[in-house]
Amino acid sequence: MEPLPEIINQLPNFCGHESRVEKVPGVNKPTFLDSTTVKLSQVKSSFGIALHMHQPLIPAGGPNLPTAGIIGNLQYMMEHQHIKDNHNAPAFARCYSRIADFVKDLLETGHHPRVMLDYSGNLLYGLRQMGRGDILENLKKVTVEKPYSRCIEWLGTMWSHAVAPSTPPPDIKLHVQAWQQHFAAIFGWEALARVKGFSPPEMHLPIHPDVCYEYIKTLKECGFRWLMVQEHTVENIDGQRTRNPHIPHLLIAKNSRGEEISMISLIKTKGSDSKLVGHMQPYAEAKGLQRQKLAEKLIPPFVFQIADGENGNVMMNEFPRCFKKAFHEIKASGTISLCGSEYLELLEAEGIDLEKSAPQIQPIGQKKFWDRVDNPSPGAVKKAITDLEKEDSRFHLDMGSWTNNRSWVKGYENVLGPIEKLSALFHQKIDRNPAVNKQSAAYRETLFYLLVSQTSCYRYWGRGRWTDYAKEICRRGTQLLEKKF
């Protein structure tokens, strides 16, 4: 397919080609099997690391909030390095680019690097907007050129790093497709066809059965093959914790009508401490593991973790040394590093049908309410959940993220209210008007405000200037909708 322009009228090219995105050639073909040098029979154990990179877009490109331009937070940090920790801005920018250099240097000196990358659409657009296309070009080299491309796996995500429980359900697919088209515009259609795994913002897995069902359905409709899940956001079908997090699992999502959908999942272990990836702990853990049984075969386990790739002293200053040291030690056999899709494809090449043989899991806490439902129906499920919430103060539907101590809904009403109103108006104006041109400037700008308003940072901080930012973005989006549609 013909390449897409990355920027149109100073906005990201992230809508209007949904049908082309859905028909990306090669999306159902193996990604790594034709290029991997790994022989699974020689692998005792394996591990994978992913780097998450994100900077929100904020109305801070000027002194007055109502008229300030929308810029990336990294650009704001660069321009205001005298404020708090903004002096780290140049180091952050280096972090976004340097992983490409690490991969090139290691591969060219005979080593076997592997890394998965999760960059939000906010960050990708912000880098281009602030004139740091050199970072994107450096990443593009290792993404599209052989032999580097076999060492890199990009993971899909929500364009604006929106967290599932505080994102209006109709907008989830808009975020996913926006990220896909924007990624294709930067790196090309062939690179998009290789994006098979999905990295959920804040590692959040919806617990409500209808939301989870639609979430997984959306990911599958968008062509994703597997999902990263946090260890303590899932349970076995019997309600017990997962017994072996280091092999592939099959996530079962059942809605309140009893319909089921499933997706292969790789489990991220441990908590959210970036030092685990920064010090290459997954490699150390994998070295102590042996082959494990799946489908009557012994397979190498896979230790999987993700961390912010730029945030904190460990990632900025210690990770490069630890990353390089690990891959200087790693050979082509024994304990090695793999990308997620590479691992799954190697298992299937051994004749393992993961859909049939992988242990089944479901979102944490679901057994509690399914045990109370004899015949699935929206009313029966709602009653079971309501009764549980009354009886057990520890049970709530927004606990399935990297920490069960943080709600992404409670306490954020002052932000979520305007976001939900903007979303409702968007769908009222757009969905009911089939004549809307999704390649038009008006639609692209409106979608931009809708998606930007839902970035997790506005809920994570939830007060002060971050709340003001979110409300201002919603004001602009609402005003545009009422004027243009």
* CATH class of this structure's domain 7-363: alpha beta
Residue-averaged pLDDT of the chain: 93
Neighbouring C-beta atoms of residue 304, cutoff 10 Å? 26
Of 160, 194, 196, give the one whose Cα is nearest residue 176.
Answer: 160
Structural domain boundaries of the chain? 7-363, 373-484
Structure tokens at 413: 């009403």
* Cβ neighbours for 211, distance < 8 A, ≥ 6 positions apart: 164, 165, 169
Quote the pLDDT of residue 432.
87
| The predicted structure's pLDDT at residue 373 | 94
Q: 185: which 2 tokens?
A: 């515009």
Location of structure tokens 């679901």: 366
pTM of the model: 0.95
Which residues contact residue 370 at a Cβ distance below 8 angstroms, ignoring those fewer than 6 apart?
254, 384
Q: pLDDT tens digit string along 246-280?
A: 999 999 999 999 999 999 999 999 877 788 999 99
Of the candidates 180, 123, 188, 190, the one whose C-alpha atom is nearest the C-alpha of residue 157 is 180
Using pLDDT thresholds of 50, 70 and 90, give the confidence band for residue 408: very low
Average the pLDDT over each of 22-31, 274-283, 299-308, 327-336 and give the range with the smallest value. Answer: 22-31
Q: At what angle do helices 441-453 and 169-187 cross, to 10 degrees?
A: 110
**What is the mean predicted confidence (pLDDT) over 195-221?**
94
- Which of the residue ranges 63-72, 201-210, 319-328 would you say has the lowest mean pLDDT? 201-210
In the numeric block, the tokens 């660069």 are attached to 78
Confidence at residue 172, expressed as pLDDT on a 0 to 100 scale? 95
* Strand duo 43-53 + 334-337: pairing: parallel
pLDDT of residue 403 exceeding 80, the answer is: no
CB 197 within 8 A of CB 304: no
pLDDT of residue 414: 65
Instruction: Supply 391's token pair.
Output: 């009886």
Which residue in 369, 475, 22, 377 sits closest to 222, CA to CA? 22
Q: What percent of the chain has pLDDT over 90?
A: 82
pLDDT, mean of residues 316-325: 97
pLDDT given at position 108: 96
Residue 61 has pLDDT above 80, yes or no: yes
Q: Flag whether pLDDT at 398 surpasses 70.
A: no
